[in-house]
């Protein structure tokens, strides 16, 4: 009882101190790290699976990482920590490249090094985190900032479980992008939560053989020698000082009304994408040339289709050019998106990146001078609609909110 009273008053002290410092616009850490561990797969990876080859799409994302945060209002108890770690160890036997280390530009050494697992206690309530999108607050829920995962650790995956004073929980999983795309992330979390919610830690329902070799379909390229190209290095880096985090909540009825205006039954993604695109292009200035880029999942477009559970970067980034003088309305924009998506079939998938195409394309970008009369503005957008993120039930019910923070290019 005495220890519980101490924890209670400690939480009150931390929350009071936090509010006092925030009133003076001071940055303050609000988490207390209680443990740091490395979780290894529950069984050893066989020798014939020790090297996982990168595909060309994996290579493009070598220096990227992205974090997802799952918020739960309540449910954690004294056994939660044990179940989370034990189930994570079990599921890593199926997603074993996460527990390995990047060897070079061509492969991951699946040596069962393990993944980072951090537990923290937050001096605030989960409701405050849900209502406050201040990046400084959300960053406290991350095991590492994305660029730190790439530059200062050897981990391909890192987890932080944050316990709130109200009984709520936030689970952040930071993925190294050369190992996984968003579909992989969603299925990994869903599988992990399914195992965690089973008292017996049963993995029978989890699909086996989720790791396939796509290097034969998307052969990797030799990027050696590019480090001498300063422009190319700058292309692979992004500045975190030029980014902003904003959350826009679209009411269901408003999205329905927008879909009605566009006509031809657009998806939610198509409707919101067209609205955002119109807002972005309305702010363009003379000489701007806009390019939009969005990823498309290739798993079901291949012949034969591969399982939705397959691990890796199995997507194509479609791009559309929009000259300054061309005015696009909602309906035309959605029609353009569908036209591009319809081009994706098995033949396109296997011919999309001729040998050396990626390298030439990125070198051309590095040498591009956007200060000339025609300035290219690239608008990247991605959607997690249709992916099973909200099915991640660790035994506490489905998450109240799932968000992805800024992916970082190191």
Q: Above 80 in pLDDT, residue 1?
A: no
Share of the chain above pLDDT 70, in %: 76
Residue holding tokens 């579909």? Answer: 183
Whether residue 369 lies in the annotated active site: no
Q: Above 80 in pLDDT, residue 370?
A: no
Fold classified for 242-380: Chloramphenicol Acetyltransferase (3.30.559)
What is the rounded average pLDDT of the residues 289-307? 85
Query: How confident is the prediction for the chain on average, in pLDDT?
Result: 80
Spatial separation of the C-alpha atoms in residues 259 and 282, rounded to whole Å: 20
Interacting residues of 89 by C-beta distance below 8 A, sequence separation 6+: 39, 40, 41, 42
Q: Above 80 in pLDDT, residue 198?
A: no
In this structure, what are the phi and psi dihedrals at residue 404, rounded to the nearest 5 degrees?
Answer: -110, 130
Pick the CATH number of 29-222+387-409 from 3.30.70.20, 3.40.50.300, 3.90.470.20, 3.30.559.10: 3.30.559.10
In whole angstroms, what separates CA 101 from the centre of its chain?
19
Spatial separation of the C-alpha atoms in residues 387 and 15, rounded to whole Å: 36
Better-predicted residue by pLDDT, 172 or 305:
172
Whether residue 177 lies in the annotated active site: yes
pLDDT for the residue numbered 371: 47
Spatial separation of the C-alpha atoms in residues 96 and 114, rounded to whole Å: 9
What is the rounded average pLDDT of the residues 172-184? 94
pLDDT for the residue numbered 283: 75
pLDDT for the residue numbered 407: 62
Q: Residue 348 is encoded by which pair of tokens?
A: 């396109």
Better-predicted residue by pLDDT, 248 or 346:
248
Q: Where do the structural domains in the chain lie, given as residue ranges?
A: 29-222+387-409, 242-380
Better-predicted residue by pLDDT, 25 or 258:
258
- Are 137 and 40 in contact by the 8 Å Cβ rule? The answer is no
pLDDT tens per residue across span 109-168: 999 999 999 999 988 888 888 887 677 788 889 998 877 888 888 899 999 999 998 889
Catalytic residue among 94, 177, 181, 408: 177
pLDDT for the residue numbered 15: 42
Spatial separation of the C-alpha atoms in residues 290 and 215, rounded to whole Å: 32
What is the rounded average pLDDT of the residues 52-61? 90
Domain pair 29-222+387-409 / 242-380, same fold: yes
pLDDT tens per residue across span 336-365: 888 888 888 777 776 666 555 555 554 455
pLDDT tens per residue across span 220-229: 887 665 544 4
Weakest-pLDDT range from 4-8, 43-47, 248-252, 325-329: 4-8
Q: Residue 17 is encoded by which pair of tokens?
A: 């101190």
């Amino acid at each position: 009882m005495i220890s519980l009273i101490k924890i209670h008053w400690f939480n009150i002290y931390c929350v009071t101190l936090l509010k006092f410092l925030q009133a003076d616009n001071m940055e303050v850490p609000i988490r207390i790290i209680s443990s740091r561990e490395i979780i290894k797969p529950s069984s050893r990876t066989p020798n014939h699976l020790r090297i996982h080859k990168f595909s060309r799409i994996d290579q493009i994302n070598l220096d990227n990482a992205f974090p997802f945060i799952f918020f739960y209002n309540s449910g954690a108890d004294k056994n939660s920590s044990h179940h989370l770690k034990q189930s994570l160890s079990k599921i890593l036997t199926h997603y074993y490249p996460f527990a390995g280390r990047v060897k070079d530009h061509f492969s991951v050494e699946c040596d069962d090094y393990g993944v980072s697992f951090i537990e923290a206690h937050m001096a605030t309530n989960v409701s405050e985190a849900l209502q406050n999108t201040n990046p400084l607050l959300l960053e406290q829920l991350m095991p590492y900032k994305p660029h730190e995962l790439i530059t200062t650790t050897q981990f391909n995956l890192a987890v932080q479980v944050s316990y709130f004073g109200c009984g709520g929980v936030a689970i952040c999983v930071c993925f190294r992008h050369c190992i996984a795309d968003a579909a992989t992330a969603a299925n990994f979390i869903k599988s992990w939560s399914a195992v965690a919610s089973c008292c017996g830690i049963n993995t029978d329902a989890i699909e086996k053989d989720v790791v396939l070799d796509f290097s034969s379909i998307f052969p990797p390229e030799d990027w050696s020698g590019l480090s001498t190209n300063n422009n190319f290095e700058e292309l692979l880096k992004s500045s975190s000082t030029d980014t902003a985090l904003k959350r826009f909540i679209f009411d269901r009825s408003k999205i329905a009304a927008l879909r009605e205006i566009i006509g031809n039954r657009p998806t939610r993604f198509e409707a919101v994408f067209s609205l955002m695109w119109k807002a972005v292009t309305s702010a363009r200035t003379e000489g701007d040339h806009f390019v939009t880029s969005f990823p498309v999942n290739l798993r079901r477009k291949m012949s034969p289709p591969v399982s939705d559970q397959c691990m890796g970067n199995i997507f194509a980034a479609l791009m559309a050019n929009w000259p300054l003088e061309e005015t696009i309305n909602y309906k035309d924009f959605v029609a353009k998106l569908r036209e591009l998506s319809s081009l994706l079939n098995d033949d396109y998938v296997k011919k999309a990146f001729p040998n050396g195409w990626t390298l030439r394309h990125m070198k051309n970008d590095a040498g591009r001078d956007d200060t000339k009369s025609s300035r290219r503005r690239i608008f990247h957008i991605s959607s997690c609609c249709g992916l099973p993120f909200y099915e991640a039930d660790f035994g506490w019910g489905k998450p109240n909110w799932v968000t992805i923070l800024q992916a970082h290019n190191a």
